Amino acid sequence: MKIAFIGLGNMGAPMARCLIAAGHEVMGFDPIATPDGVPCCARVQDAVADANVVITMLPSGDILRAVADDIHPAMTQGAVHLDCSTVDVQSARDVAQAAEAAGLSAIDAPVSGGMGGATNGTLTFMAGGPVAAFETVQPMFDIMGQKAVHCGEAGAGQAAKICNNMILGATMIATCEAFSLADKLGLDRQSMFDVVSTSSGYSWSMNAYCPAPGIGPNSPADNAYTPGFSAALMLKDLRLSQQAAEAVDADTPMGARATQLYADFVELHGMGGMDFSAMLPHLMDKPRS
Ligand code: NAD
């Protein structure tokens, strides 16, 4: 399988390395990054020209659309454009339509699992698009990830991703609030974890990514809140959820509040580069609002 990999940043570079380590022929392109161990072309059109699968891992829907305009005419008929970026649902649908018009097929397959998952090949993929194209890229999912779920037609992967991350943002804030309250009530953090992680308040934010340092499994809290998953990316995903909710007239008051709280955290307090679990020390320092 010949693969082109476009966008070799924090996620794309380790994902490309996993494919190379598994024996695939990979040609990369990135206008800025020059990651070790990934051969790259100077022109994106050259990277994609004879690839069976072109993977994109890009920052935004606008950039994805621009890259799609550049690469679709240069791709081989019948090839698959596999986009793993997190972007808005409409961009995913429009790019899929453009791919189809160019004689290609497209899958939107955003990921969960962060840089650790990208490095270790343990990402979860949530995919939208034609079943045949999903089956073509399944071997790549198997290398880069531990699980791939086919969620439906074009855009369904992005829909699943933003719904998941809307829950994640809300549960992280709720978990941080509960630790802050528990502290002030004199409740020992370890006791709090032992109870909640095995009671009805448990969640991924508490059990797998505990925001309190020294409690629960190793997490960014144990590394001075170095990401992990940055608060800026959490805010990006929450905003995508609110954009989608507005487009389909869905009422998401918790999602809206989580978006506002992360917007304040990132834009008012300049904490975008911290892990999103750093909401805990932030809330502890704040007076009651
Ligand atoms: P990043 O900023 O580290 O990497 C993006 C790369 O895209 C950069 O190297 C940039 O130079 C490149 N790029 C920009 N414009 C380009 C163009 N026109 N053509 C080719 N390459 C271009 O971002 P990242 O952390 O790797 O995230 C990539 C995507 O994955 C985002 O959509 C993000 O939301 C999503 N994501 C990230 C994480 C995470 O923990 N970092 C987790 C899940 C999902």
Domain encompassing residue 174: 159-285
For 185-237, the pLDDT digits (tens) are 999 999 999 999 999 999 999 999 999 999 999 999 999 999 889 999 999 99
pLDDT on residue 287: 83
Contact 78, 102 (CB under 8 A): no
Residues of the chain with pLDDT below 70 are none
117 lines ligand 1 (CB under 6 A): no
Residues identified as active-site = 161
pLDDT on residue 228: 86
276 lines ligand 1 (CB under 6 A): no
Is there a single domain that holds both residue 148 and residue 32?
yes
Nearest CA to ligand 1 atom 4: 9
Is there a single domain that holds both residue 170 and residue 124?
no
pLDDT on residue 93: 98
CA of 234 relative to ligand 1 center, distance in Å: 14
- Domain boundary among the residues 135, 153, 171 is at 153
Is there a single domain that holds both residue 190 and residue 218?
yes
pLDDT on residue 286: 84
- Domain boundary among the residues 153, 178, 203 is at 153
pLDDT on residue 47: 98
ipTM over cut 0.90:
yes
Record the pTM.
0.95
Which residues make Cβ contacts (< 8 Å) with residue 51, sequence separation at least 6? 2, 3, 4, 27, 75, 76, 79
As a whole number of angstroms, the distance between CA 254 and CA 172 comes to 12
Q: How many domains does the chain have?
A: 2
